[in-house]
Amino acid sequence: MTTWIDTSCILVVFLALSILATYRITGMIHIFVVQSFVLSFVPFFLHADALTGRDVMLVLATLVLKAIVAPYILFWAIRHMSMRSEVKPFIGFGTSIICGTFLIAGAFWVASSLKLPGKLISDLVIPCSLSTVLLGFMIIVTRTKAITQVLGYLVMENGIFLFALSLFDAMPTLIEMGILLDIFVAVFIMAIVVNHINEEFEHAPASLRRTKMGETL
Amino acid sequence: MLSVLILIPFVCGLVVFLPMERRLRVRILCAVSLVHAMIVASFWKVNPPSEINGFLMLDAIGLIVLSIVSFLFLSVSVYMVGYFHHEQRRTRTFVACLLLLLSTMTLVSVSRHMGLLWVAIEATTLFSAPLISFHRNPESLEATWKYLLVCSVGIALALLGTFFLAIAAHDVHTLLLPVLLSGAKMLSVNWLKLSVIFLLVGYGCKMGLAPMHSWKPEAYGQAPGMIAALMSGALTQCSFLALIRVSQICAKTGLSEFYASILIVTGALSLVAPAIFILGEGNIKRAFAYSSVEHMGILVLGLGLGPVGIFGAFFHMINNAVAKVAAFLAAGSLAQKYGSSRATEVKGVIHLYPVTGVLLIAGFLAGTGMFPFATFHSELMILNAAVLSGHYLLALVYLGGILVMFIGVLRIVLEMALGKPTQPVLPAKENFLMNAAIAVAMIISLGLGLWMPDILTKVLNDAVALVRI
């Protein structure tokens, strides 16, 4: 099963990097769906020999919240948006990918000095999760639109989630569900704010639109 | 009893979503806050038993935070009855979010599991965000967005820190605080250090410590006065509670020195950074926001400076919350009357609204730590702790920061209070309930400055004993 876990980890990082390199917002959301989909099956691979009801519940909850509900909310938030692609990121797409690869290298370097106590399922879980967190960070700081920043936040959460799976036993189910629920509500509220921002600026006369604010849209 | 205390506001928060008259919602908030405050007051006499396998438990530190939260909600809800007398906006989401916020803040103060603590603090971020954009204009939406994004990312880092803590506690198998503390010898120190850094950055972001404070002036400047009061007085203390919990763990594992050094550096930064920005500020609510950054710096500084400082920090938590309520409610009251909180547009308040004007000046004095208000004593205690522990340079920076902040805010307050009156939007008539809420906070701040009740000293000493080795 280690092969499957390794493959999933690498896929998660690769998909995060693809989001960083994608131009269209709908494309980014689609890639995020695939990433969440891959991620949600990791508990299956981790506990393939002795599946419990808890694993199944976690897989289902992740799948529903991250791969279905969250993207749906994001699509809802951008339904009226006239601009469907990222305009003028602070760093160009080519440079973003190069920076991204440096971040991945850095994450692997840092992770090499972090030793987990207890048995380790796969060597790739920690470096890959750190890489994904860093790539998510990079999406947040280099992209200028609110909706892409939400996506960056979600990618970052996916990285943290991958990390959480490696210490499955330390957290009670209740807390895990709480964390998932919080992230879901976060996306929900962020989407509402994005929607309000859009409405406010679609209706505001052009003279009131400040360039500073326009850039964050 | 603890779960009831969490559930009452939660259920009422859902109830106010039903269609009803807008002022009824505010009355429900008032009633819930009153019941909440009465139950919390009873906890000072009898400590409630722990619940849900020890996940919920109230200790002395939790009691201080819970009492602050409860008092702040009570004064804000009384104030809101007066505020919504003139305000025609819809109250549904607003009051619902406030009640849910009360419920989650209560959960923060009583949770004994580091994972549950994270869940609760993240929930407070989510329910407070819609409150900032009450006025629904571009500026307030921008402030909401900034708050939501900066705090969510910060809190995500705290989640990572919590997971690191779980790895450090691999041999203990749980994140329940009492078990963590009793099995402190079994924690892995390297992972714990990493976890402490992430937790400090994460929760520090939510608390508004420099250099992660950029959301604070925007959010407090745009939010209505009562929301700014709640955020600066109660919400930030919830994150500070998380930092105190980390401090408890560090004390047991011999990492106190390491943690204290980070706290002192962060605290000093939070004293210097707002002092630079305050001088160019012209908006009273933004000025109080910078003052809030400074007070958060004072709190973490106290936490890092040993027993005297910790006692000062706990006392300052209460004093700062009470003073901030008075300051922000007075500023919010003027913002409603004049439609602005800029010193250039609001002048001569004391001629048109003598009571509010006097309360604004009193709130400013309490907020910046002037004698005889209680903030003066707690700030002095922390200064004392800095000198006693031999941090002379730090003591100088501390005094300098406080002095610059005092001058910076004084300039704006005097400009607003005195001078030739500008014309307000609303008729020049004082509102009794709004002023009463501010006055009660003011009296408490003054009272604590002149006389310290025995029961409070006892609870503060108990709280200090929990953090000390």
**Per-residue pLDDT tens for B401-434?**
999 999 999 999 988 888 888 888 777 777 888 8
| pLDDT above 80 for A85 | no
What pLDDT does A212 receive?
43
Closest chain A residue to B128 measured between Cα atoms? A189
Question: Is A197 within 8 Å of B156 when comparing Cβ atoms?
Answer: no
Instruction: Determine the distance in angstroms separating the CA of B403 from the nearest CA of chain A, rounded to an integer.
Output: 34
**Is B167 at the interface with chain A, CB within 8 A?**
yes
- The arithmetic mean of pLDDT across residues B190-200, rounded, is 91
Domain tally, chain B? 1
Judge: A216–B145 Cβ closer than 8 Å, yes or no: yes
Percent of all residues in chain A with a pLDDT value above 70, rounded to a whole number: 81
> For residue B194, which residues of chain A lie inside 8 Å, CB to CB?
114
Residue A59, H or E segment: helix A53-62
The yes-or-no verdict on residue A62 having pLDDT over 60 is yes
Number of domains present in the structure of chain A = 1
The ipTM assigned to this model is 0.86
Confidence check: pLDDT of B384 > 90: yes
φ, ψ at B222 (rounded to 5°): -95, -30
What is the rounded CA–CA span in Å between residue B222 and residue B392?
38
Give dist(CA B331, CA B222) in Å, integer: 12
| Contact assignment for A179 to B115 by CB distance below 8 Å | yes
Separation CA B209–CA A80 (nearest Å): 37
Chain B hits for A196, Cβ within 8 Å: 133, 136, 141
Q: Could you give the C-alpha distances from B189 to B193, B194, B306, B423, in angstroms and in order?
A: 6, 9, 21, 62
What one-character DSSP code corresponds to residue B339? S
Over the stretch B268-315, which tens digit does the pLDDT of each residue have?
A: 999 999 999 898 888 899 999 999 999 999 999 999 998 899 999 999
- Per-residue pLDDT at A110 exceeds 90: no
Residue B157 one-letter amino acid: L
In whole angstroms, give the CA distance from residue B453 to residue A7. 63
Is there a contact between B130 and A192 if contact means CB atoms under 8 Å apart?
Answer: yes
**3-class SS at B113?**
strand
Task: Domain of residue A130: give its range.
Answer: 2-216
- Give the pLDDT score at B158: 92
Average pLDDT over residues B15-32: 88
Exposure string over B231-263, b if 16+ CB within 10 A, otherwise e: bbbbbbbbbbbbbbbbbbbbbbbebbebbbebb
Q: Which of residues 311-340 of B touch A (CB under 8 A)?
A: none
Backbone φ/ψ region at B442: left (φ over 0), alpha (ψ -120 to 50), beta? alpha
Q: Which residue of A has its CA nearest to B189?
A: A117
Contact A170 B145 (CB under 8 A): no
From chain B, the residues in CB contact with A163 under 8 A are 160, 163
Residue type, B269: L
Asked if B115's CB is within 8 angstroms of A171's CB, the reply is yes
Nearest to B329 by CA among B388, B296, B285: B285
Three-state SS letters, B377-412: HHHHHHHHHHHHCCCHHHHHHHHHHHHHHHHHHHHH
Contact at CB, A200 and B141, closer than 8 angstroms: yes
Distance between B28 CA and the closest CA of chain A, angstroms: 24
pLDDT of B67-83, one tens digit each?
Answer: 999 999 999 999 998 88
Host domain of residue B330: 2-467
Residue A139 clears pLDDT 70, i.e. is over it? yes
> Which residues from A are below 8 Å from B222, CB to CB?
none
For residues B314 and B387, the answer to whether their CB atoms sit within 8 Å is: no
Chain A residues with CB-CB distance to B141 below 8 A: 193, 196-197, 200
CB proximity A172 to B under 8 Å: yes
**Distance in angstroms (rounded) separating the CA atoms of residues B183 and B172:** 7
> Do the chains contact at A133 and B169, CB–CB below 8 Å?
no
Chain A residues near residue B115 by CB distance under 8 angstroms: 171-172, 175, 178-179
C-alpha dist (Å) from residue A94 to A17, A90, A91? 11, 12, 8
Distance between A178 CA and the closest CA of chain B, angstroms: 6
> A213 CB near a chain B CB, below 8 Å?
yes
Q: Report CB contact under 8 Å: B167, A204.
A: no
Q: Which residues contact B311 (CB under 8 A, 6 or more apart)?
A: B381, B460, B461, B464
